[in-house]
Chain A
Amino acid sequence: PCRAQPKKKKKVDVRKEQAQKERMKKKLKKLEKAAPELIPIEDFITPLKYSESNRVRSLPALSPEESERRVLLLKKWCLFKQKQDEAEKKAIKALVASQEEALQELRLESEDLYEAAIRRDEELFPFERDGPSYTPPLPGYDPPEGKCIDITKVYTQ
């Protein structure tokens, strides 16, 4: 009966498998050497059509009254925004101060409660909130059927 041939086949198979594994390991090493790249962000790349054209907008000349009105409006807006910002800073300081005071009072009351209050809140994160909307959704609106397809470009290294 044939014995020699099957034995050879086994050896050759094992060697071939080992050689294959080594080749794969070498390939892996080579690929791992290359540093991973960040996906390029399309927002920061200006499309070519906006830089090639030579069209220039010609604005109409402003009358002196109009320009003065605009400057005064700008100054009023600056003042309004400054007041708003100052109010916000004042509010933050008041919040922090009142929080400090409350914690001091709590500390005087009991150390355990103070320690528990100082600890970080695990349920705070993750925190999600949708921004306010100009027009909230109508209650009885029946939207037409449709679907969304994701067509983002997939980058591979």
Chain B
Amino acid sequence: DALLGCHRSYRSRPTHGIGKFKYLLPKEVPKKKKEKVQMKEIDAGTEYQYGDVNIQMTSYDLCLVEHFAQHVHRLCNRLSIRVNESYAMPTKTNEVLFMEERGSKMQLDAVLTTHQRVVQIRGLSSTFAPILLEIIQSNQPEGVHLLMKQHTEADFKSRLKARRELEELLAEMS
């Protein structure tokens, strides 16, 4: 009992710290908790500033749209426009079928993948907006479709997975 209950450390003795071993073990990195995907607040913007604006670039060519998105991002950095997020929307795959000239069968022509990249800006001043638009348009590559619009909750929800059970339950409840 006395041995277990003793807390004195005897710091002057050479046996001080005997029995310590945790300093010898490799340091454990604290576990990262999963970051919940939450919607960030959408800025509405004042009368002289636009709020959250989405620049959406769509194309069939992946490398082109990726490079253009990077170019737009760097341009905004250079012009000191705050970029909230720069993400990719899920790819859409389309099968193109065409009718043969002599026959009634649908012939498989190609499988096209549509890629979309989004750069979200905040705090674009009303005087600078047309200039930015002009620059982006002049640098627009071939086949890339540009779309600029305000950010809405629906835009954010389109990135999330569909929850069938939740929707069914909600429909049943109401």
Interface residues of A (CB under 8 A from B): 24, 27-28, 31-32, 35-44, 88, 92, 95-96, 99, 103, 118-121, 124-134, 144-157
Question: Contacts A27-B169, A36-B163, A96-B128 known; A129 to B137 CB distance under 8 Å?
Answer: yes
Query: What's the least CB distance linking A11 to chain B, in Å?
Result: 23
A24 to B164 alpha-carbon distance, docked (Å): 15
- Asked if B142 is an interface residue, CB under 8 A from chain A, the answer is yes
For the complex with contacts A119-B126, A127-B148, A128-B146, 14 further pairs of A-B residues with Cβ separation under 8 Å are: A38-B37, A39-B159, A42-B91, A120-B50, A120-B129, A121-B129, A125-B53, A131-B141, A131-B146, A147-B97, A151-B93, A155-B161, A156-B164, A157-B162
Binding site for A on B (CB under 8 A): 34, 36-38, 45, 47-50, 53, 59, 62, 79, 88-99, 101, 106, 109, 111, 115, 126-131, 133-135, 137, 140-150, 159-166, 169-170, 172-173
Contact A126 B94, CB 8 Å, known A24-B172, A31-B163: no
A146 and B166 in contact, given A41-B90, A125-B53, A128-B147 (Cβ under 8 angstroms): no
Asked whether A31 lies within 8 Å of B98 as measured between CB atoms, the reply is no
Across the A-B interface, the 8 shortest Cβ-Cβ residue pairs:
A146-B98, A126-B149, A120-B126, A35-B36, A145-B99, A131-B144, A157-B161, A127-B148
A32–B166 CB distance below 8 A: yes
CB <8 Å contact, A92 and B131 = yes
**Contacting pair A144 B94 (CB below 8 A):** no
How many residue pairs, one in A and one in B, have C-beta atoms under 8 Å apart?
A: 155
Given known pairs A31-B169, A129-B146, A144-B98, the reply for A37 and B127 (CB within 8 Å) is no
